[in-house]
Structure 1
Amino acid sequence: MGGRLTDGRPAGRPRPLAAHPEPRVRTSRRPPERERSWFRRFVRRHGWRAYALPFLAVATVVVLVDLVLHPPGSAPATPAAAPTTATPPAAATTSGPAALTASAPTAPAQGDAGPTEPVPAAVADYVEQGAGTLSIVDGSSQVYGTGPLKRFVVEVEDGIGVDGAVFAEAVTQTLADPRSWGNGGRMSFQRVGIAEADARQYDFRVSLVSPGNMETYCPGVGTGGYTSCRYGERAVINLARWATAVPHYDGDLATYRPYVINHEVGHALGNGHRPCPGAGQIAPVMQQQTLGLDGCGKNAWPFP
């Protein structure tokens, strides 16, 4: 029987389904997850550079520490070009002619190391240590001999009480002697002065130096303040040996003085040491006669 239901709809009709509202998608109100560390943020920002920068920083620190502990050294200074007053050399400067009877020395300096045995005290008076500076003896000589010209400068240490002109004349007359290195036209010699020294128009120097300053002008040779040496362009003559010779020369300065000049100039010209050839024979001028004769007879000349 037809009628209406209590909710007002006709009998026999199904109740319509009630529509449910669609569920709303809830969006998170929480902020994005924070980076877990400053390093992740640093890496995200700088990429691969983040790994390189720490190593570069460490390397920079290492370099800076090394520079502080080991500052770069400057190149060794060479002796002054040739001022009127010379100061001690900081390093050897090899110059001058090629070797004569031997090949040019490979060592930066040549000379006779000091004796190992005690040496009797010298009788003659001389200054143990001068001012440490050298003054050129001005003036020039004629050319002595024939052959290639070798020009030289003579220097005397200040404050040692030696007449520079007298020493310069002794050097000049020694090298002018036909028994010296110019023998037979091998070469000629001329002493020159300050102007030529300033212009470096010379081949070598002959310098008279006090015992107390020998190690200054012959560093590394080991003269012990006793022997002479050749250092760079200088043939350095020890004042003590010039004044007293050596014990086994028995005070024979007339022979020892030309010997020590010819010996050290021989080094400057490129000649090395030579031994005594045999007992009773004449000692070569390049024998270390200051330290002993080893059975040879004393000799002052390259070509006696």
Structure 2
Amino acid sequence: MATVLALVDLLAPAGGSAARVGATAGSTDPAPRSTDAAAPTTTAPTTTPTAAAEGDAGPAEVPGAPAAGTYVEQGAGSVSVVPGTSAVYGTGPLQRFVVEVEDGIGVDGVTFAAAVEATLGDPRSWGSGGRMSFQRVDGTDPGAYEFRVSLVNPGSMERYCPGVGTGGYTSCRYGERAVINLARWETAVPDYQGDVATYRQYVVNHEVGHALGNGHQSCPGAGQVAPVMQQQTLGLDGCAKNAWPYP
């Protein structure tokens, strides 16, 4: 009898909890909109995006000690859409974006979404001079948005940016997502000398710049302003830090 029961246990389906429903990270097919009060939740990528991934590959050695700060090294792995929408910032062709925060990292999604909105809505950002406009949305139906801005912990970077080689240190753009590394969001990088606020503006503009189709640029010369698409996370190369596409 004991042997029979053991065989039944081995053959029985594993687990009893329901799987989360949502699009996979990096997929171009967004998750259907949630029909209840909870924010839509998505999981780590299982498919390869049609566009090549872009990002700052992690350094062989971390370039000095980052500023002091505390953050969660490993969250739940899934991300939830921050509910709410914004006004349209700027004029020109509309770029709608969704803001997501990884579950279990202790970050207030509303505060993070407000920071992303303020950055993309600034006249020095990508919409400068009527080039484009931005609006935050929370609908994830197909065609409801152009890109996502996702905040994830260092331990999830390789899951959301597979093959980029962030080393858990840098941020990246993968598929429709501009993925912000929580460690960099909280502590910035040594070359920013503790100026976390400016670095946050830079990393949002940089990764969203990739989502808009912009590639990396180099420092134009010692003492000059760094282009926002320069890999400032890995060093300024003699340039002055800069968070804006059109400073």
Whether the TM-score (by the shorter chain) exceeds 0.5 is: yes
Correspondent of 2:75 among 126, 130, 135:
130
Selected match of 1:247 from 161, 169, 190: 190
What are the within-5 Å matches in structure 2 for residues 169-180 of structure 1? Answer: 169-180=114-125
User: Which residue matches 1:5?
Assistant: none
Could you tell me how far apart the structure 2 residues matched to 1:280 and 1:122 are? 24
Equivalent of 2:44 in 88, 92, 114: 88
Structure 1 residues 121 and 295, CA gap change in structure 2 (3 angstroms): closer
Equivalent pair of 2:222/2:239 in contact (CA under 8 Å): yes
Identity over aligned residues, as a percent?
73
Would the aligned equivalents of 2:29 and 2:142 in 1 still touch at CA under 8 Å? no
Q: Counterpart of 1:221 in structure 2: which amino acid?
A: V
Q: Decide whether aligned partners of structure 1 residues 264 and 81 sit closer, same or farther in structure 2, where only a CA change above 3 A counts.
A: same
One-letter amino acid matched to 2:131: R
1:107-165: CA deviations, max 9, x gaps? 62000011122342652000001000000001100001000000000000000000000
Q: Please give the root-mean-square deviation of Cα atoms over the aligned residues, in Å.
A: 1.4
Letter paired with 2:175: G
Q: Which amino acid aligns with 1:110?
A: E
Tell me which residue corresponds to 1:116.
Answer: 60
SS at match of 2:233: coil
111, 117, 123: which one aligns with 1:166: 111
Q: Distance in 2 between matches of 1:82 and 1:261?
A: 23
**Structure 2 stretches of 5 or more lacking a match?**
1-25, 33-39
SS class of match (2:60)? coil
Q: Which of 236, 239, 242 pairs up with 1:296?
A: 239
List per-residue Cα deviations over 1:260-295 (Å, max 9, x = no partner).
000000000000000000000000000000000000
Of 167, 177, 184, the match for 1:234:
177
**Secondary structure at the counterpart of residue 237 of structure 1:** strand
For 2:224 and 2:66, the matched residues in 1 are separated by 29
Counterpart residue identity of residue 49, structure 2: T
- Confirm or deny that 1:197 pairs with 2:140: yes
Contact 1:82-1:200 within 8 A present in 2 as well: no
**Equivalences for residues 245-284 of structure 1 within 5 A:** 245-284=188-227
C-alpha distance 257-187 of structure 1, shift in aligned 2 (>3 A): same
SS of the counterpart of 1:179? coil
The aligned counterpart of 2:16 is: none
What is the CA-CA distance between 1:93 and the residue it aligns to? 2.7
TM-score, structure 2 as length reference: 0.84
Structure 1: unaligned runs, 5 residues or longer: 1-76, 95-106
- 1:222 matched to which residue of 2? 165
Larger Rg over CA atoms? 1
- Do residues 285 (structure 1) and 234 (structure 2) align? no
The one-letter amino acid paired with 2:213 is G
Q: Secondary structure at the match of 2:206?
A: helix
